[in-house]
Amino acid sequence: MGRRIGSVRLWGVLGLLGSLLLAAGIPAGAAARRGPGGGGSGPGVNHAVDDPFTADRTSWWRQDRFGMFVHFGAYSNLEGEYTRPDGTVCRDAEWIKRQCKIPTDAYERQAATFDPADFDARALVRAAKDAGQRYLVITTKHHDGYAMWPTRQNTWNLRDHSAFDPHRDLLAELKHAADAAGIKLGFYYSIWDWHDPDFADPATFPRYKKRMYAQLKELVDGYDPALLWFDGDWDADDPVNRWSRRDGADLQAYLHRLNPDLIVNNRVGKRGVTDGDFGTPEQKIPDEPVAGQLWESCMTLNDHWGFARYDTHWKSPATLVTNLLTVASRGGNYLLNVGPDRRGRIPQASLDRLRETGRWLTAYGQGAAVYGAGYTGLVAEPSWGTVSRRGDTLHASVASWPEPGGALHLAARAPFTVTGARVLGSDRPVTVTPRGDGYDLTPTGPAPGPLPAVIRLAITPPKAAPAGHGTGLWARSWDNDAFAGAPVVSGVDPTVNKSYRFDGSPDPRIPADRFSTRWSGRIEPRYDETYTLTTVSDDTVRLWIDGRLVIAHATPHEVAVDRATVRLTAGHRHRIRIEHTQRSGEAHMKLLWSSPSQSQQIVPSRQLYPDGR
């Protein structure tokens, strides 16, 4: 909330200023807070202000791993069923207006009866905590355009168009409860809007965008969410969705100016690897860590996001725990959904399964396999379960317990030693035997229970060379895309982490199109391992290591991820050279690395040394 000055809340004044600026077509946030890196736009601006894989800004999200998704809106009032005038019943959930072809006036009439009087923010937050969910994302506006807060941008909202108590503010109640419980709060916001008359017409779409910016400013300034979860980004009809990659780039810059600590998902743009801070696979789990971007898998508990009274196809606690462990072991987050009913109550079947999940996480410290844990390249993912790493501990979660005396094989991808092993919640010994390419783990006794069991392995990891003391690479940039003539700018660049998007460039003297950059120097790994070097580039990239061309994606392309595996020597300063060219449109250039011992990150400056040429 804004700070009080006299009898006027500061943000009320800024809000007035913002409204005036907005009327002029300038997003109000432009006049508000500016984040690190200036947060501006235009030549000389790089919008990549940090590395989401390591930034303090994203630390809580990367540690918490497990969140609650809440789909709640005017559609909930129908509870998944709509009886047509001819008496036939049509079923869906949050898409019910569209799928059941409900006329807008009929949908508005039903929304006017929406009264979630039993919505209990503290109960919802408590359900999340009991489940072990450490952040919560609630729909503030779904595709039907209905706002769940008292927006000043229209009257299609819970305050002005419902039977709900007009003195209540559901999001404010949730913000208070989440803060009190130490749960981070995120807001879902659909770009695609079936209700706003300005959305459908290209001539008025800019007016819709201004209203959308104003609503997002209300949400950010009014409730201080930690995260914005955009949706409805895809190309669609009825209404045609004109949201573009450039719109996404502009919105990200605007939100960064509103609050530089905000975490934003990749649906702010067009779900690209350079859009927002994390990818959003839905109802599925990637087979391995996503190259170039953090990620979060979102899933329903049954088959619907919004409440559907007839949907009893609930996932079992075993499925939920196994999904959570799999996601964490591959370095992702798990966002698991509840759909409150028309009164705002969480279905008991949801609560039961969430509680079982929470019980598993708290039992015997099993949550250590999830919270603050993540992908390890030290071992190959086994057939019998998953393995996550947290410091010098591996947690092997066993979904398929071996027959008595049977062994669980763990294939090592780099040499490490196991100094201890025990099943959490059991005092029975686990025998660890070096075998072939790794270890055999032989537990004793039967599986501790129907849900996955966790074997905690204390390890001595591969030896790391001391951290480097580099400063970055020597970077030269030209105002042409052929490295021709004298560079416009030269100097030490701490990292290769550039999202110029549509308007940025390496220097104010270099236009947003037709430029090139060469980085050169040394790269110093800390492990004797095979590294994966990942580039994220637009328009072209070439990468040399020790004079060998290992990535050559030299035909102009849209944002692309390229990878090369290179054997590197710990503490040795390998020669590196990168060439990036930008023709037109978007521009991006990032260099990341990973290895069995090194988790994925933008190559840090302390491991890079300029050659000054």
Q: Which residues would be at the binding site for ligand FHN (CB under 6 A)?
A: 94-95, 231, 282, 298, 305
Supply the minimum distance, in Å, between the C-beta of residue 74 and ligand FHN.
Answer: 13
CA distance 110 to 90: 15
Q: Which is nearer to ligand FHN, 107 or 593 (CB)?
A: 107
Supply the minimum distance, in Å, between the C-beta of residue 187 and ligand FHN.
Answer: 13
Supply the minimum distance, in Å, between the C-beta of residue 95 and ligand FHN.
Answer: 6
Q: Which is nearer to ligand FHN, 101 or 469 (CB)?
A: 101
CA distance 135 to 182: 9
Q: Which is nearer to ligand FHN, 157 or 297 (CB)?
A: 297
Q: Which is nearer to ligand FHN, 301 or 379 (CB)?
A: 301
Going by C-alpha positions, the residue among 284, 283, 262, 281 that lies closest to residue 271 is 281
Q: Which is nearer to ligand FHN, 95 or 371 (CB)?
A: 95
Going by C-alpha positions, the residue among 252, 243, 271 that lies closest to residue 499 is 252
Supply the minimum distance, in Å, between the C-beta of residue 282 and ligand FHN.
Answer: 5
Q: Under DSSP, is residue 611 helix (H, G, I), strand (E, B) or coil? A: coil
Burial of 231 from C-beta contacts in 10 A (0-12 / 13-18 / 19+)? buried
Supply the minimum distance, in Å, between the C-beta of residue 339 and ligand FHN.
Answer: 10
Q: Which is nearer to ligand FHN, 93 or 543 (CB)?
A: 93
How far is Cα of residue 291 from the mean position of the Cα atoms in its chain?
Answer: 13
φ/ψ (deg, to 5) at 152 = -95, 5
Which residues, other chains included, contact 368 with Cβ-Cβ below 8 Å and sequence gap of 6+?
390, 393, 395, 454, 456
CB 426 within 8 A of CB 474: no
Q: Which is nearer to ligand FHN, 178 or 298 (CB)?
A: 298
Burial of 343 from C-beta contacts in 10 A (0-12 / 13-18 / 19+)? middle
Supply the minimum distance, in Å, between the C-beta of residue 279 and ligand FHN.
Answer: 12
Supply the minimum distance, in Å, between the C-beta of residue 50 and ligand FHN.
Answer: 26
Q: What is the dihedral sign for C-alpha 591, 595, 599, 605?
A: negative
Q: Which is nearer to ligand FHN, 14 or 298 (CB)?
A: 298
CA distance 94 to 144: 8
Supply the minimum distance, in Å, between the C-beta of residue 370 and ligand FHN.
Answer: 21
Supply the minimum distance, in Å, between the C-beta of residue 300 and ligand FHN.
Answer: 8
Helical residues (DSSP H) of 101-204, grouped into ranges:
104-111, 121-131, 170-181, 197-200
Question: How many other CB atoms sit within 10 Å of the CB of residue 483?
Answer: 15
**DSSP β-bridge partners for residue 363:** none
How would you classify the pairing of strands 66-70 and 333-338?
parallel
Q: Which is nearer to ligand FHN, 185 or 489 (CB)?
A: 185
Q: Which is nearer to ligand FHN, 130 or 282 (CB)?
A: 282
The residue with tokens 């390419």 is: 437
Supply the minimum distance, in Å, between the C-beta of residue 75 and ligand FHN.
Answer: 9
Supply the minimum distance, in Å, between the C-beta of residue 328 and ligand FHN.
Answer: 20
Residue 182 in tokens: 């130490």
CA distance 389 to 431: 20
Q: Which is nearer to ligand FHN, 232 or 367 (CB)?
A: 232
Long-range contacts formed by 19-28: CB under 8 A, 24+ apart: 19/214, 22/210, 22/213, 22/214, 25/206, 25/210, 27/210, 27/213, 27/217, 27/254, 28/213, 28/214, 28/217
Q: Under DSSP, is residue 104 helix (H, G, I), strand (E, B) or coil? A: helix
